[in-house]
Structure 1
Amino acid sequence: MDDTELLTASEQKMDDASTENLAAAGADSPSSDDSGESDSDSEDEAESNRQIETLESELSANPYNYDAYVQYIKLLRKTANLEKLRQAREAMSAIFPLSPSLWLDWARDEASLASSDKVPEIAMLYERGLSDYQSVSLWCDYLNFLREFDPSVHGYTSDGISKMRSLFELAIPAAGFHVTEGNRIWEGYREFEQGVLDSIDEADVEERNKQIQRIRSIFHRHLSVPLANLSSTLNAYKAWELDQGIDLDIESDDLSKVSHQVAAANKKAQQMYSERAHLEEHISKKDVSDIEMFQEFMNYIKFEKASGDPTRVQAIYERAVAEYPVSSDLWVDYTVYLDKTLKVGKAITHACSRATRSCPWTGDLWARYLLALERGSASEKEIYAVFEKSLQCTFSSFEEYLDLYLTRVDGLRRRMLSTRMVESLDYSLIRETFQQASDYLTPHMQNIDSLLHLHAYWANLELNIGKDLAGARGVWDSFLKKSGGMLAAWHAYIDMEVRLGHIKEARSIYRRCYTRKFDGTGSEDICQGWLRFEREHGDLETYDHAVQKVMPRLEELRLIRLQQESTPVKPPAGLKEHNSQKSTREKRKAGPNVEEESLAKRQKRKGQKVNEVEVEGQSETVPNTKSVKAENRKAANSNKEETEDVKPVKPKVYTDECTAFLSNLSVKVQEEDIHKFFSDVGGVDSIRILLHKDTGKPRGLAYVDFVDDEHLAAAIAKNRKMFLGKKISIARSNPKKGKKEFIRRGNEGSGSSKDASQISDKAKAPLGGETEGEMRGNEVKMRGKNTFAVPRSVKPLGYTTPKPSTDETPKSNDEFRNMFLKK
């Protein structure tokens, strides 16, 4: 808002008087022009009133609408509604820091209407404005107001002189280093001191000489500051010295007659200004965007930091925050700098207070404010008030609220344990803060590590400061009621009891949680943890008891996991179409007797199920492989013509000789993701991602073929690395060992009715004992009804994979028959 919009009291009275006179003069004979102007004024006033009512409704609904407040105040000034104007300004300043222009308008409006006895109230308005932003214009207006309206100041009493000198000394570091406008502060200071000199009696030579020396000192200080128009300041100094009877050659730039220190300081100041001139030019441009201008300010700040003068750095920061008061990043950067350079002091707390008023939605600024108050030895009442105020703000994440609660607890703990603490604090303050944090955050942050940290911290303080074991246990019990599915919480509770030597209590916690369901391998981990616990802390009886409890649970978990991962893989769309040629009636005819099935049909079925692994039989006995082979040969001869007509799709066979098996993959993984994961290893030949039969979605398992063993070894070295948010397992695929292991387990399983029902396809393979998993390149090995792909590199400790032999000749059927007959 321009200063020209402001009407002084006398101007307002003159306007009112002229209006009244004009109305009186034209009351008897109004002209058409007068009536037109009157109607126009009334329409403008009605429109302004409508806008005011609209803005009042908006602010009533949302008192945090900054722009609405600015427009509201502007309209109230226009209508000269002083009472509403004061209320609006007070309401806005209670929520927001007002800009320098808003404070300037407010103070000038009140000054124009106030009498001399209202000077302290108006001075307080200026002080409030300067507490928000260190504006050169606001400082100059404040100082000029006092010189004009304060009787003690313009009367040059000792109190008035002392007051003004104190204010000028405050204004110099706050605004006197402003490169382009700081001259106004220095010039005002000299003018005031010159007035003091003129008020001293000519006969009091000693006092006048002291005052002359004071003005000379101000000149010298001014000349040492890098400001614009220093040459003009130097000429003014020479002219002033000439009035004092000292000729410094005013027509020349020669400083030889000036003291050496002043000349050197002035030369350095001019050099510093030259270094900053281009920066000042950049931040003074009018045709650039806010983003570009903000970056120019940050470049200026970086330059001043490199120069190493904290006063100048603060000055440019203050100019920046006045231009961008709602930039939270700028305020954070400013407060961080103050913490590093000033460590303690009112300047930091004041800056933090202004920052939180300008950007109340930034939790980091509130946390810094609390820390600054603690460093400044603020009272508990003051710190608590700021903490409570911070919780009323709206932050972008619950992590910011958590950080505030933790900052509050940290401060209470430090002050409670400090020997220098004057106030006595009760531990109940910490407990109440933790309880408030838990009640507010737990519904929104369940199963999050940071919330676990909060409760672990709480339980620890209950033990160490509160000396309350029952309270610490209550913290964990309460947390586990809400977040019982978080394995780390149970471990933390158990660790606390073990650390305290409470073995029985730790054992009881294991009993409570070992049957719970946890994410990933958590359920198995807690069971194994109980066994380790009993090995380290229990006796034989407790260990046996843990084994009796844990082993059935582990077996149950194993079967559940197998069942979850045994869903057959969905075949490709092309194979589905091929399969659709077989009618439903023909499918029903296909009985369990695989030996009577024609070779063509078996080949056709094999082609349909290339990507599908299934277990068909529940027989307890293993069929004779030899008879199956003979029957197959017979069927092949008798159905030669049929096989010529039906040409089944032949699946690609993978040997898995140089293959890595990947498990625990993300269901969102794609081939390009795996390629990228192994990009540092190289040598990837092909990738096979296993899919569910029904859904066609990835199962979290894959095979990756490499070109040689060297690349494969490098890939296996990445085992347990994080990949798409999960820690994957990588092992070498061993198809030969998978076949042997399958046959051995299939035969061993015939001892019980449960295991007998889980005989795999190996026992009922239709062609030469070859399972469909083997026809696919031995991608999987099967176990009963469950079709679960597992790595074939799970070998005993110390086992090394032998290199494949290249000169081994496959044995014929007769050779195998002779081997068995010998046995």
Structure 2
Amino acid sequence: MNNLFPLTPAMWQQWANDETSLISSSSSSSSPTRYADAVSTIEKLYERGVSDYLSVSLWCDYLNFIQKYDSSVREFSPTGISKARDLFERALIACGLHVAEGSKLWEAYRSFEEAILNSMDETDLESREKQVQRVRNIFHRQLSIPHSDMMSTLLTYKAWESEHGNTLDVNSSSTDGILPHVASAYQKALDMLSVRADFEEKIVGSDASDTERLQNYMAYLKFEQSSGDPARVKCLYERAITEFPISGDLWIDYTNYLNKTLKADKTLRDVFNRATRNCPWVGELWVRFMLYLERSRGSEKDLSDVFERSLQCTFSTIDEYADIFLTRVDGLRRRILFAKELDDGLDFPLIRNTFQRACDYLSPHGSMLEAWQGYISMETEMGHINEARSLYKRCYSKRFAGTGSEDICNSWVRFEREFGTLEDFDHALQKVSPRLQELQLFRLQQESKNITSTTDHKDDPAKKIKGEKRKSSSDAPNEESPAKRQKVKAPNKGSAKVNKVENSSDPTPHGEDSGQKAKDPTPEKFKQYTDQCTAFANSEDLRGFFSDVGGVGAIRILLDKFTKKSRGLAYVDFCDDTHLEAAVAKNKQMFLGKKLSIARSDPKGKRKGPNAAGHKTLTERPGEEKVELKGRNTFAVPRALGWSKPPSSSSAAGDEKPKSNEELRKLLLNKT
């Protein structure tokens, strides 16, 4: 289990105790070599345990085990004493600043040194005096560090000094009789403890929830960082990590602090190893780990190992995968370009292979625009133009987040402007233009849905209907009153109407038409169109559609006066009958992926049919005054009705009988 994930201090203690019980029961029958090997094995267990998390109790168990089962330490041989002292000093470095429990280690250290003193020959005064001074120094060091039981430590120290010939008031908590520098250090530590007492109470208290305790730790850490003592900050971070080992934010905060204070210190590597073992699902930790190794001039093998380990993990977002790949290739590029003195067998194919792995790895999961752009940029900088072009051909049709799809298309065109031939540039435009139109269409549809959704939920429809006038049931859903229409169209009597291009398979996508309008009691102004079967066109799109016909004049797209969205209808002016007939002949042709309906329009009155001088009249409504149009003719695309039936192929263009808008509506209603 520990190969995959760190163990808690309690689990390490249980494991070590189990192993210790085995050697205790077989110590009498086992050989000295086997016994020593068993002790060494348990020492390694303790070493692994204390490296996972900060634990004063685990360190105490480790130290007690060494003193009891290591014969060299137990017998106070020079080698054993040196080994034990090194271990005690390591324990103090790790946990000696622990405000709540650190005093346990100091007391264990003093007890060991006093045991050495008691074992010495009483006639060897010089050695004994040195040992007494060693114990005194440990007392002095402990008194200069804020601990929860500082008062008890002071009284113990005064009693110890009295035993060794110094007259002190052992019942008083004052520092009278103590060396001035020791008394000053003790008072400073006492002040530090009083400032931290409230923080300690909040993080040690068991009545608070885990969330509150973590917040208390963060407040405590902020305070310690302001005091400017990195050792104390590091110790507190370790305490917090022990309590909350799978808090990704805490590990990120910890490694960020160490990066600022320790830079490329080797101890930071151990912290990153532990961080990625505790929170392997946090991509930012792996990215920081790789950057640290690069900063500290780690070997290519180390960087590769960390990178490969990161790919075995599962991250919550695709961006984390992309960041890891980009960090890896960026590091490779820098090492190759700026550190050529390193002979690690690095070359550009390795970067290319990593980019390829990124594309293959992430393509099933989603887009990774930055990886493609980085890959293309690298090939371009290296002068591999054909390779960069092939990458554009592979990725321009992919879907990227935000405006990424448009960006990659436009980037390809710019690339060919700079590096390609005219044929390459034309080919890029040929590929990119339909893609950009498709993306624009999709974005407009999404915006339309969002606007509709927002409008539907903005106000209570019941409040809006109250007090509003309903339109006459005889009005067509999208027609204006005759007076208003004549007023609007007076300045441009040859105007043409073009709207949203609707799906021919669903002529009335919203269930609204002239035949239904009279039966629908809902006022027109409150109807909302979802445009689920609608493709949007603008004036430039329409002008381009009729570019082969020519003669296009003004183009006017009608907008809904409430939603400000296209009503799906537009008027287009043509300069003469010839161009008009050619435009009508394009009826039912595909436009932006939909079939377009084109019909002649008579917005003013009814015509009897073809008449003298080649003038044509079209009827918009029964009963309206006949108006003969001269000059420019018009055609129309009815709005939500769908598409009119194209002129019969057996009729000449000049002999066809124009249909009014009302007739077109009825025709389409019967058709559907």
Q: TM-score range by the shorter chain?
A: 0.5 to 0.7
In the alignment, what sits opposite 1:323? 243
Pick the aligned partner of 1:754 from 578, 582, 585.
582
CA contact (8 A) 1:487 1:522 kept: no
2:76 equivalent to 1:156: yes
Shift of 1:390: 1.5
Q: Does 1:427 align with 2:293?
A: no
Distance in 2 of aligned mates of 1:418 and 1:299: 42
User: Who is 1:257 aligned against?
Assistant: 177
1:457 aligned onto 2:402: no
The alpha-carbon distance between structure 1 residues 308 and 700, as it changes in their structure 2 partners (threshold 3 A), is: farther
- Secondary structure of residue in 1 paired with 2:3: helix
Report the Cα distance in structure 1 between the residues aligned to 2:422 and 2:130, rounded to whole angstroms: 83
Query: 1:474 corresponds to which letter in structure 2?
Result: S
In structure 1, distance between residues paired with 2:192 and 2:3: 40
Kept in 1: contact 2:95–2:235 (CA 8 A): yes
Closer/same/farther in 2, CA of residues 732 and 142 from structure 1, 3 Å limit: same
Q: Deviations over 1:619-664 (max 9, x none)?
A: xxxxxxxxx99xxxxxxxxxxxxxxxxxxxx99x999xxxxxxx99
- Shift of residue 147 of structure 1? 1.0
Contact 1:409/1:433 (8 A) holds in 2: yes
> 1:803 maps to what in 2?
none
Which amino acid in the other structure matches residue 393 of structure 2?
D
Q: CA 1:233–1:689 in structure 2 vs 1: closer, same or farther (change >3 Å)?
A: same
- Alpha-carbon offset, residue 732 of structure 1: 14
SS of equivalent residue, structure 1 residue 93: coil
Aligned-partner SS, 1:784 = strand
Confirm or deny that 1:473 pairs with 2:389.
yes
Distance 1:443 1:110 in 2: 48
In the TM superposition, what whole-angstrom CA distance separates every residue of 1:486-513 from its partner, at most 9, and x where no partner exists? 3322322333344447665334422443
SS in 1 for 2:99: coil
C-alpha contact 2:397 2:435 (8 A) present in aligned 1: no
- In structure 2, relative to structure 1, the CA distance for the partners of 1:213 and 1:696 (3 Å cut) is same
Q: Contact 1:692 / 1:699 at 8 angstroms: preserved in 2?
A: no
Aligned-partner residue type, residue 784 of structure 1: F
Distance 1:482 1:732, change over 3 A: closer
Q: Which residue does 1:110 correspond to in 2?
A: 19
Verify the 8 A CA contact 1:614 1:787 in the aligned structure 2. Answer: no
Q: CA deviation at 1:187?
A: 0.9
Paired with 2:302 and 2:270, the residues of 1 have a C-alpha distance of 13
Matched, 1:445 2:366: yes
Task: Say if 1:361 and 1:393, in contact at 8 Å, map to a contact too.
Answer: yes
Q: Is contact 1:749-1:758 (8 Å) kept? A: no
Kindly state the Cα deviation for residue 468 of structure 1 after the two structures are TM-superposed. Answer: 3.2
Corresponding residue of 2:552:
none
| Equivalent residues, number | 508
Percent identical residues: 41
Equivalents in 1 of 2:237, 2:527: separation in Å?
59
In 1, the alpha carbon distance for the partners of 2:200 and 2:136 equals 29
1:281 CA displacement? 1.8
Deviation at 1:276, TM superposition (A): 1.7
CA contact (8 A) 2:409 2:436 kept: no
- For the aligned residue pairs, the C-alpha RMSD in angstroms reads 4.3
Structure 1 residues 303-336: Cα deviation after superposition (integer angstroms, max 9, x where no partner)? 2223222222222221122112222222222222
Deviation for aligned residue 1:387: 1.5
| Correspondences of 1:101-140 after superposition (within 5 Å) | 101-114=10-23, 115=27, 116-117=35-36, 118-140=38-60
Q: Is 2:108 the partner of 1:267?
A: no
User: What corresponds to 1:305 in structure 2?
Assistant: 225
TM-score by length of 1: 0.55
| Aligned equivalent of 2:67 | 147
Q: Secondary structure at the match of 2:603?
A: helix
Instruction: Indicate yes or no: 2:478 matched with 1:612.
Output: yes
Pick closer, same or farther for the CA change 1:694–1:151 going to 2, 3 Å.
closer
Shift of 1:231: 0.9
Residue 381 and residue 759 in structure 1: after superposition, are their counterparts in 2 closer, same or farther (change >3 A)? same
* Offset, 1:433: 1.3
1:697/1:300 CA distance change after superposition, 3 Å? farther
> Could you tell me how far apart the structure 2 residues matched to 1:304 and 1:289 are?
22
Change (3 A) 1:156 1:504: farther
Q: 1:523 to 1:242 in 2, by over 3 A?
A: closer
> Given the alignment of the two structures, is residue 293 of structure 1 paired with residue 213 of structure 2, yes or no?
yes
Deviation at 1:355, TM superposition (A): 1.6
> Secondary structure at 2:635's aligned position in 1?
coil
Q: Distance in 1 between matches of 2:531 and 2:182?
A: 90
Tell me the SS of whatever aligns to 1:514.
Answer: helix
- Cα distance in 2 between the residues matched to 1:146 and 1:351: 26
Partner of 1:492: 411
Q: Distance in 2 between matches of 1:693 and 1:468?
A: 48
Could you tell me how far apart the structure 2 residues matched to 1:514 and 1:345 are?
54
Give the distance between the partners of 1:698 and 1:480, measured in 2 at CA: 23
> What is the SS of the residue equivalent to 2:183?
helix
Equivalent position SS for 2:313: coil
Asked if the contact 1:133/1:322 (under 8 Å) is kept, the reply is yes
CA distance in 1, matches of 2:250, 2:336: 34
AA aligned to 1:107 is A
Deviations 1:586-634 (A, max 9, x none): xxxxxxxxxxxxxxxxxx996444641499xxxxxxxxxxxx99xxxxx
Structure 2 vs 1, CA of residues 691 and 216 (structure 1 numbering), >3 Å: closer, same or farther? same
Aligned twin of 2:318: 398
Going from structure 1 to structure 2, the CA distance change for 1:519 and 1:746 (only over 3 Å counts) comes to closer
Describe the shift of the 1:422–1:158 C-alpha distance in structure 2 as closer, same or farther (beyond 3 A).
Answer: farther
Q: Distance in 2 between matches of 1:184 and 1:273?
A: 17
| Letter matched to residue 479 of structure 1 | C
Distance 1:285 1:693, change over 3 A: closer
Does the 8 Å CA contact 2:601/2:619 hold for their aligned counterparts?
no
Q: Is the 8 A contact 1:486 1:518 kept in 2?
A: no
Whichever residue aligns with residue 313 of structure 2, its letter is C
The 1:251–1:441 alpha-carbon spacing in structure 2 relative to 1, beyond 3 Å, is same
Residue identity opposite 2:582 in structure 1: K
Residue matched to 2:513: none
Q: How does 1:722-741 map to 2 (within 5 A)?
A: none
| Structure-2-length-normalised TM-score | 0.67
Q: Could you tell me which of 118, 142, 149 is aligned with 1:229? A: 149
CA contact (8 A) 2:574 2:634 kept: no
CA contact (8 A) 2:286 2:324 kept: yes
For 1:376, the equivalent position in structure 2 comes to 296
1:94 aligns with 2:3: yes
> Structure 2 regions of 5+ residues with no counterpart?
28-34, 444-460, 463-469, 490-498, 501-523, 539-558, 562-569, 585-597, 608-617, 622-632, 641-672
Report the counterpart of residue 495 of structure 2 in structure 1.
none
Q: Distance in 1 between matches of 2:8 and 2:67?
A: 24
Output one character per residue of 1:664-712: Cα deviation in whole Å (capped at 9) or x when no partner: 9xxxxxxxxxxxxxxxxxxxxxx978844997999899xxxxxxxxxxx
Q: 1:356 aligns with which of 271, 276, 280?
A: 276
Asked if 1 retains the 8 angstrom alpha-carbon contact of 2:398 and 2:405, the reply is no
The answer as to 2:263 corresponding to 1:436 is no
AA aligned to 2:366 is M
Structure having the larger proportion of residues in helix = 1
Residues in 1 aligned to 2:250 and 2:533: alpha-carbon distance in whole angstroms: 51
- The one-letter amino acid paired with 2:62 is Y
Q: Structure 1: how far apart are the matches of 2:321 and 2:114?
A: 56
- CA drift at 1:171: 1.4
What secondary structure is seen at the aligned counterpart in 2 of 1:286? coil
**Residue 762 of structure 1 aligns to a residue in which SS?**
coil
